[in-house]
Amino acid sequence: MSNYLAIDTSANASVALVDETTGLLVDKRVSSKGNDQTETLSAYVKELLDTHGQKGQDLAGIIVGVGPGPFTGLRVGLVAARTFGFVWQVPVHGVMSLHALAEQVLESSDVPAEFVVASDARRKEVYWARYDNSGTMVGGPHVSAASALPAMPVFGVGAGIYAEQLEEAGAKPMPESFEWIADAGFLARRALSDLAGGKDLSDTSPQYLRESDAQIPAFMKQAKA
């Protein structure tokens, strides 16, 4: 029996093992911090593989969140997934991280006809996308102020951070989701569904949606000019 290894670092470091045949979660690790991806990711992967007697080269594949997310954290997961895939000679599949939040919504008992998922984009903004109740993305991904979101239910940590702004804009932040971040287990669920439907997930290009927070110092710009 083979498992998929799923990795997402678009928010906190999240790693999961998922059964290839059933799609059921075997085990996972999620950091409580949002800035320790470099320190925790490799340790989480080793711990999961060792705990379940799984060898990297015997994995069915690796699933990685491609964002949107902050530059540094997102790069950690993507580089790790590509490196593991190369070393172990297993396929690497890229999935948009917001899909993991949508999958979590679909697990709830009362799924709205259409809804929005939102993650923290910093700079007083959110990354967001719009879905219907089948889980199909019907708009996005976008990055914007919370006040620009459509007037409908909003799920995810972004809804919690900007609940007041969303309510003022006519949206409905859903309190049960205020702690939700992209979870590798839900990311894997979306990936397995897409793969079963014949979707090509070979593209692992990052989705940043905006420029890096890092800026070129003024003296360097002058020298280049």
Task: Output the six-digit token pair for 35.
Answer: 């800035």
pLDDT of 109 reads 85
Same structural domain, 50 and 11: yes
User: Mean pLDDT of all residues in the chain?
Assistant: 92
Residue 95 φ then ψ, to 5°: -135, 135
Residues 44 and 153 in one domain: no
Q: Quick one: 109 and 88 in the same domain?
A: no
We report the CATH number of the domain holding residue 139 as: 3.30.420.40
The answer to whether position 218 is within a domain reads no
Per-residue pLDDT of 147-172, as tens digits, reads 999 999 999 999 999 999 999 999 99
Number of domains observed in the structure of the chain: 2
Query: Is 21 inside a domain boundary?
Result: yes
What confidence tens digit (pLDDT) does each residue in 68-81 have? 998 989 999 999 99
Q: What is the pLDDT of residues 70-117, one digit of tens each?
A: 898 999 999 999 999 999 999 999 999 999 999 999 998 899 999 999
One domain, residues 139 and 155: yes
State pTM to two decimals: 0.91
Average pLDDT over residues 41-45: 95
Same domain flag for 33 and 77 = yes
Residue 44 lies in a domain: yes
83 & 106 share domain: no
Tell me: do 12 and 78 sit in the same domain: yes
Domain of 77?
A: 3-97+182-196
Is residue 220 in a domain?
no
